[in-house]
Copies of this chain bind each other. A is one copy, B any other.
Amino acid sequence: MNGADVLCDVLLANDVTVCFANPGTSEMHFVAALDRKPEMRCVLGLFEGVVTGAADGYARMTDRPAATLLHTGPGLANGLANMHNARRAFSPMINIVGDHASYHLPLDAPLTSDIEGLAAPMSNWVRRIAGPEDVQPATEAAFRASLTPPGVTTLILPADAAWGDAAPASPGKVVLPPPPALDRDAVRTTAAAIRAAPGRVGMIVRGRAARADALEIAGQISTAFDVRLFGEVLIARMQRGRGRVAPTRIPYPIDAATALLSDIDVLVLVGGKEPVAFFAYPGKPGRLVRDDCQVLTLAAHGDDLHAALEALRDELGVKPSQQADFATAFPDDAAPSGGLTDDAIALSIARKLPDNAIVCDEAVTSARRFFALSAFAAPHDYMMGTGGSIGGGIPMATGAAIACPDRKVINLEADGSGMYTVQGLWTQARENLDVVTIVFSNRTYAILHGEMKNVGVNAIGENARRMLDLDHPALDWVSLAKGMGVEAARADTCERFDALLDSALSRRGPFLIEAVI
């Protein structure tokens, strides 16, 4: 048995059973080893951004790492942008990057590059396997590092470590350390602050604090002490919909965000960081809360967030039977009609969302209304790109569908963003994944038109227009999807959109709707 076999065995022993892959020559022994392990599901992406983005989506839905297989420095480089999103989402992930045999590196063959240097900015943990005997400890360390606390790990596999003889291994399960003990001081401090400032306390939930059960506890506290619940500007995952407590998302535009938070005297963080402006603008603040706002961390990433919320509830004397406020029915459930608009699409999807769907939202400007409406939709999981790196949506939907084969995945996708990793549609076809992609086809980087106004440019000229608009020619998403084996159709009225969505939701398998707005 060789090092590559050991690597597979360690992954499988720890229930890492999916490998998103785009292999190259230096990984052939690893591919051969995977080929001897039919219990490992190998999923090909035709571009590495699909591979890492799918691993991110998979991790968000399972709380477990998938492996990725990437080919040397350039293959890793192509996957970095979605590793950035995954890192910001605290998604566990084990990237396995093949490299030249160690003795080949000094020859500086064409593909030679500084893999550690490339990996470090977008990884929480990086290690180069020293040789065949190091495969088992290094892979176990990578698995452990991917989960304590959850994050992106990168393991560099030199070809000679993969093909070299390794002692037969019978790897067992890696024992993970328990989460850090509850910070009782933080619980007491937070409780005191909540009591002291009724109506002027905000709480941001993220990670496992944004799952339905934890949200309910946060909601009980919110109802009992008038604490306002928020989600971050970019939400890694939140359980959402009727019967669930519905935090308000902090808006992306700075003025709206600072207005929302203007009367918050105490901000409690549960699993996240203090929100800041996505970008700096001349004369505008970088922090979104007032400078005199007290920011308290109840629990941080890696802590047991559910236990921390329970402890806070108890400390505040709120009973487990306390009712939490949540949405029940749509405030206005009339079906939209006539010419298609982004808001009409958002409403249609919210109205028709199947139970237990997964929504991957990379529609940027176009689906902004959806999140508010989703509080009234059928229960679902909601996810966004978290690092601001474009091209996460299609891959994330792909990975979520692999993770949850019995759930419908709805991908709200901007046309500009969708093009970055459009290759992911092919993987959806190959794997027959149950994903409905809805492309908001506005034929522009709409967000950048807004940003030009933000920097004081109101009339744009030829050069700017050519960099901000996606017209001349318009993208034809129906043909693009067809080219990758995904059925697709186009809608430019609400009625047509609704009919297509009904059809897509009533069948299994990938479908794309180009919604022309």
From residue 397 to 441 of chain A, which have CB atoms closer than 8 A to chain B? 416, 419-420, 422-423, 426, 429-430
User: Which residues of B sit under 8 angstroms from A472, Cβ to Cβ?
Assistant: 430
A37 within 8 A of B: yes
Contact B78 A420 (CB under 8 A): yes
- Which B residue sits closest to A387, measured CB to CB? B110
User: Which residues of B sit under 8 angstroms from A84, Cβ to Cβ?
Assistant: 73-74, 77, 113
A121 within 8 A of B: yes
A81 within 8 A of B: yes
Known contacts A160-B280, A476-B485, A479-B482; is-contact A452 B32 (Cβ 8 Å): yes
A27 vs chain B, min Cβ distance (A):
9
A40 within 8 A of B: yes
A287 within 8 A of B: yes
- Which B residue sits closest to A430, measured CB to CB? B472
A399 vs chain B, min Cβ distance (A):
16
- A interface residues, tally (CB under 8 Å): 106
- Which B residue sits closest to A43, measured CB to CB? B466
Contact B110 A121 (CB under 8 A): no
Contact B280 A104 (CB under 8 A): yes
Contact A423 B422 (CB under 8 A): yes
A163 vs chain B, min Cβ distance (A):
6
A197 within 8 A of B: no
Contact of A74 among B29, B80, B461, B481 (CB under 8 A): B80
Known contacts A44-B467, A390-B74; is-contact A279 B26 (Cβ 8 Å): yes
Tell me the complex Cα distance, A78–B7, Å: 28
A25 within 8 A of B: yes
Tell me the complex Cα distance, A374–B133, Å: 49
Contact B21 A109 (CB under 8 A): no
Contact A452 B31 (CB under 8 A): yes
Which of A38, A42, A163, A467 has the most chain B CB within a 10 Å cutoff? A467
A207 within 8 A of B: no
Tell me the complex Cα distance, A44–B467, Å: 5
Q: 22 A-B Cβ contacts within 8 A?
A: A25-B451, A26-B279, A37-B463, A44-B467, A46-B470, A49-B78, A74-B387, A77-B80, A77-B81, A78-B420, A101-B279, A109-B278, A109-B286, A110-B234, A111-B279, A113-B121, A113-B122, A163-B455, A419-B426, A474-B485, A476-B482, A479-B480
Residues on A lying within 8 angstroms of B by beta carbon are 21, 23-26, 28-29, 31-32, 34-38, 40, 42-44, 46-47, 49, 69, 72-75, 77-78, 80-81, 84, 88, 100-101, 103-104, 107-111, 113-114, 117-118, 120-122, 159-160, 163, 233-234, 273, 276-280, 282, 286-287, 386-391, 416, 419-420, 422-423, 426, 429-430, 447-448, 451-452, 454-455, 457, 460-464, 466-468, 470, 472-485
Instruction: A35-B461, A107-B287 given; name 12 further pairs at CB < 8 Å.
Output: A25-B448, A26-B279, A28-B454, A74-B389, A75-B390, A77-B77, A78-B80, A100-B280, A110-B278, A159-B279, A430-B472, A475-B484
